[in-house]
Amino acid sequence: MQRRSFIRNSGLSLAAIALLNNRSLASFLNDPSFKITMLTNDIGVFTEKGGTIMFMLTKEGTVVVDSQFPDTAQHLIDEIKKKTTEPFRLLINTHHHGDHTSGNIAFKSLVPHVLAHVNSKTNQLQNAIKQKTEDKQLYPDQTYSDTWCEKIGQSEVCLHYFGAGHTNGDSLVHLKDADIVHMGDLVFNRRHPYVDKNAGADISSWITLLETATKTFSSKTRYVCGHAREGFDIVLNAADLLAFRDYLGNVLRFTESEIKAGKTKDDIIKAKGIPGSPEWQGDGIERPLSAAYQELTADK
């Protein structure tokens, strides 16, 4: 159990920790690195490495959204088994990238169904063939095109596809009773995103998609994002989605202005920041700028 969770759940006091010898204390503080945060009594998020996992415990079984990597997925599985004796009911993939689906294989003998958008499954298949990792995959056996809904336990689970964004197969996963939406990698909170043009990503469409999301869900909806810059939360509100929308718009506008100024792609991706979006910092700025350049020059 992660350090803060252990302290909270076991009632271990700071005084008791002080009695540990230095070696024991160091081991306790550093092992392991994962974290589980409960958003409600039955819904939580798991972070370790890769994209954020969300899970929902029900009397009909546990629903898991995304799976990170095989080793981290096993950490989640072990912790879920401590919380409930019910089986795993459904594994959902928000999209195909390995930091969201490589852990699927850990659920192979545990979950009856894996669900994703039809394009996500296609992308996962193609990537696995290209990378020769077909034996390490657990592919979705259920897919949908526009909307998928099913009542599981006391909550209705709905998946929505609003068009291309981060890829051409990104799902928004809505736990309706709790009004929580897992956005997958459709939102990067204050860090530069990966834009997978090889898998149909479209920044202009992504902007519209985020606006559609804020209009579809309520003003009180909580959103879970796949990645956040250090120091920023993975649980967001509608204002955060619109801030990311504005960031994407600023990426396109900046890139377009640089192209008109005669800058080359190599010149453009050397930028240190995105004008109008100073909160988006850190490495990786070349990823959205390269994608924007490709998008803006595609028909020229």
> Does the pLDDT of residue 154 top 70, yes or no?
yes
Q: Residue 26 — very low, low, confident or very high, per pLDDT cuts 50/70/90?
A: very low
> Does the pLDDT of residue 239 top 80, yes or no?
yes
Q: Where are the alpha helices (DSSP H) in the chain?
A: 3-10, 14-18, 22-30, 70-83, 98-101, 118-131, 203-216, 238-260, 265-268, 286-297
Residues 56/155, Cβ–Cβ less than 8 Å: yes
Predicted confidence (pLDDT) per residue in 251-300, tens digit: 999 999 999 999 999 999 999 999 999 999 999 999 999 999 999 999 65
Which pair of structure tokens corresponds to residue 96?
């195909």
Find the mean pLDDT for residues 34-57: 97
Q: Tell me the pLDDT of the chain averaged across its residues.
A: 91
> Does the pLDDT of residue 40 top 50, yes or no?
yes
> Does the pLDDT of residue 180 top 80, yes or no?
yes
* End-to-end CA gap in the chain: 54
Give the pLDDT score at 299: 60
Q: Which of 74-78, 130-134, 140-144, 295-299 has the lowest mean pLDDT?
A: 295-299
pTM of the model: 0.89
Give the pLDDT score at 28: 34
Find the mean pLDDT for residues 34-51: 97
Q: How far apart are CA 42 and CA 58, in angstroms?
A: 7
Place of tokens 């595609």: 298
Give the pLDDT score at 1: 37
Give the pLDDT score at 240: 98
Burial class (CB in 10 A: 0-12, 13-18, 19+), 36: buried
